[in-house]
Amino acid sequence: MNGGHGQRGGRDRDAAGRPRNARPRDELGRPLPYGAPGVEGMPDDLVLPPDESLNEAQRLLDTGRPFHAHEVLESAWKAAPDSERELWRALAQLAVGLTHARRGNPVGTVRLLQRAAHRLERYLSQPPHGVDVAGLITWARALAQRVEQDGLAAVPVQELTCRLRSAMP
């Protein structure tokens, strides 16, 4: 059975039969009803060089779209050489942690930020692509602790972002 939205067996699929979610999404990646206006997401086949991935992810974080930043970082993770995969995975997890925070999920926020900080540790001595590994670890752990102690309501929304790279001199 194939519905009008690329569905077979109740699941959206692309032309090759791979699972895809064709429903529109809001700015935090939550699915909306078919036909509802949503925000434009990232293409499924997005592949950018590392610097462009970091720039685009930062732009999305700065505009309150951590879910979409996660998609950019996840694409970089999938395309990265083995030596950098955990870096990109950790950065994607930071963005997912921020997505959970903006969606009001303190448990998901804390877990993803802690996982990301742990994964980033292996890159402390030689951070690739100018990623502020030390700063991100400190920021993620501090935000996770703050959310655990005081709850998400104590964190202003403008503080739910991070700088992926050190400020240029």
Show me where the domains of the chain are located. Answer: 50-159
Q: What's the angle, vertex CA 164, arms to CA 49 and CA 166, rounded to 5?
A: 105
The helix or strand, by DSSP H or E, that contains position 145, with its residue range, turns out to be helix 133-150
C-alpha to C-alpha distance for 108 and 115, rounded to whole angstroms: 11
Tokens of 18: 């791979």
pLDDT in tens, 48-64: 899 999 999 999 999 99
Least confident of 35-44, 67-76, 155-164: 35-44
C-alpha to C-alpha distance for 36 and 110, rounded to whole angstroms: 31
- Taking domain 50-159, whether its CATH number is 3.40.1000 is answered by no
**Which residues does residue 39 pair with via DSSP β-bridges, in sequence order?**
25
- Write down the pTM of the prediction: 0.81
Q: Please check the confidence at residue 2 and state whether its pLDDT lies above 50.
A: no
Q: Please check the confidence at residue 13 and state whether its pLDDT lies above 90.
A: no
